[in-house]
């Protein structure tokens, strides 16, 4: 990880993904989480205030030490233990079938091998465990999708590897999850290329 990704990108994520409108979206994806939750792309813990009372522990995976330092107070204030369990979602240092649920928010856009990371999440989940996800990705409108493809290289370069044009439900299905529900929509207040969201859940057979 270069200096830009370690020093600048975590603060950009803290400010942009911690905005009020995005926080409201986070609050819609966490209901139903309970027990031990694996969170990939934990970052600075922006989801922590939205975890429901049934959560007993969060197993956090994220490559950025800087992000965890930014979120130190948030992590310390959590009503349950938050345990950092590794930097790489593509190779999670946990036993199989040890988590009750999993959460991914604005993460699958960035992981280089997202399908591999999702396969790892499925491995760590107990059978029947549920993955909750909130991600931005490829828009259904052809004109918007063309622009997403055109500027994707720039986006990756300045936003720590973030891709605008990944079809999130297809990634989840290809990793062996069964989609339970998914909503897709444009969020107000952002360019269409960045504002197409997927929010849903999927189970590990």
Which residues are 182's β-sheet partners?
A: 200
Which residues are 202's β-sheet partners?
A: 131, 179
Give mean pLDDT, residues 43-50. Answer: 95
Give residue-wise pLDDT tens across range 26-35. Answer: 999 999 999 9
Domain that holds residue 183: 3-203
pTM score, two decimals? 0.93
Q: How confident is the model at residue 65 (pLDDT cuts 50, 70, 90)?
A: confident
Q: Which two tokens stand for residue 191?
A: 């360019």
- CATH number, domain of 90, equals 3.40.50.150
Q: Which of 1-10, 12-21, 62-71, 180-189 has the highest mean pLDDT?
A: 180-189
Give mean pLDDT, residues 124-145. Answer: 98
Average pLDDT across the chain, whole number: 93
Please choose, from the candidates 119, 65, 131, 66, the residue with its C-alpha nearest in 3D space to the C-alpha of residue 92: 119
Measured in residues, the chain has a length of 205
φ, ψ of residue 153 in degrees (nearest 5): -60, -40
Q: Report how many domains make up the chain.
A: 1
Of 10-19, 26-35, 71-80, least confident by mean pLDDT is: 10-19
Count of alpha carbons within 13 angstroms of residue 47, beta-carbon side: 29
| The pLDDT value given to residue 62 | 93
């Amino acid at each position: 990880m270069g200096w830009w990704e370690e020093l600048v990108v975590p603060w950009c994520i803290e400010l942009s993904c911690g905005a009020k409108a995005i926080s409201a979206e986070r609050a819609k994806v966490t209901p139903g989480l309970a027990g031990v939750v694996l969170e990939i792309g934990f970052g600075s813990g922006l989801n922590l205030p939205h975890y429901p009372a049934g959560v007993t522990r969060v197993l956090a995976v994220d490559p950025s030490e800087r992000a965890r330092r930014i979120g130190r107070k948030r992590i310390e204030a959590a009503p349950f233990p938050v345990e950092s369990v590794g930097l790489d979602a593509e190779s999670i240092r946990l036993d199989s079938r040890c988590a009750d649920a999993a959460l991914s928010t604005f993460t699958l856009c960035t992981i280089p091998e997202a399908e591999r990371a999702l396969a790892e999440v499925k491995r760590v989940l107990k059978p029947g465990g549920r993955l909750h996800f909130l991600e931005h990705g490829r828009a259904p409108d052809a004109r918007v999708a063309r622009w997403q493809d055109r500027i994707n290289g720039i986006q990756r370069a300045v936003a720590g590897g973030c891709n605008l044009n990944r079809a999130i439900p297809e990634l989840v299905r290809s990793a062996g999850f069964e989609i339970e529900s998914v909503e897709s929509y444009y969020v107000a207040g952002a360019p269409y290329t960045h504002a197409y969201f997927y929010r849903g859940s999927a189970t590990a057979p």
